[in-house]
Amino acid sequence: MNRIIQNYNNSKHHKEQIEITLSKLNSLRSQIIELRIKCEKLKFETEKRNRKICEKCKKEIRKNEKVTFKNTSKKITNHFHKRCFEILVACLN
Ligand SMILES: [Zn+2]
């Protein structure tokens, strides 16, 4: 009889442990979701901040097609599309 009670108590204890673990897991899951949302927001903000507009055509410049022109004396930084910059350089020559 004692053994049955002990088994019952053990299984009750296990069940409680499983419930605690599950609730921890659920809490972690919701934390992960929150972190993902924060991460996406940060990514969006960074992309927005890093967005460059071409000085020549006034359109947005995507990665890999950017030319940065710095005039260190006037501390001006201009951004161009590679193609737009080539056209400008060709006009100067
Ligand atoms: Zn351009």
pLDDT at residue 57 greater than cutoff 70: yes
User: Are residues 6 and 27 both part of a single domain?
Assistant: yes
Number of domains in the chain: 2
Residue 7 pLDDT grade (very low, low, confident, very high; cuts 50, 70, 90): confident
> Do 11 and 39 have their domain in common?
yes
Interval between CA 40 and ligand 1 midpoint (Å):
28
Per-residue confidence (pLDDT) for residue 6, from 0 to 100: 80
Strands (E), 1-93: 52-53, 60-61, 66-71, 76-81
* pLDDT tops 80 at residue 64: no
Distance 48 CA to ligand 1 centre (A): 18
Token pair in block for residue 88: 């400008």
Residues 1 and 28 in one domain: yes
Structural domain including 58 reads 52-93
Q: Does residue 57 share a domain with residue 15? A: no
Residue pair 84/60 in contact by the 8 Å Cβ criterion: no
**41 plus 1 within the same structural domain:** yes
CA of 18 from ligand 1 middle (Å) equals: 60
Q: Is the pLDDT reported for residue 1 higher than 70? A: no
User: Tell me: the pLDDT tens digits for 12-30?
Assistant: 899 999 999 999 999 999 9
Q: How far apart are CA 45 and CA 17, in angstroms?
A: 42
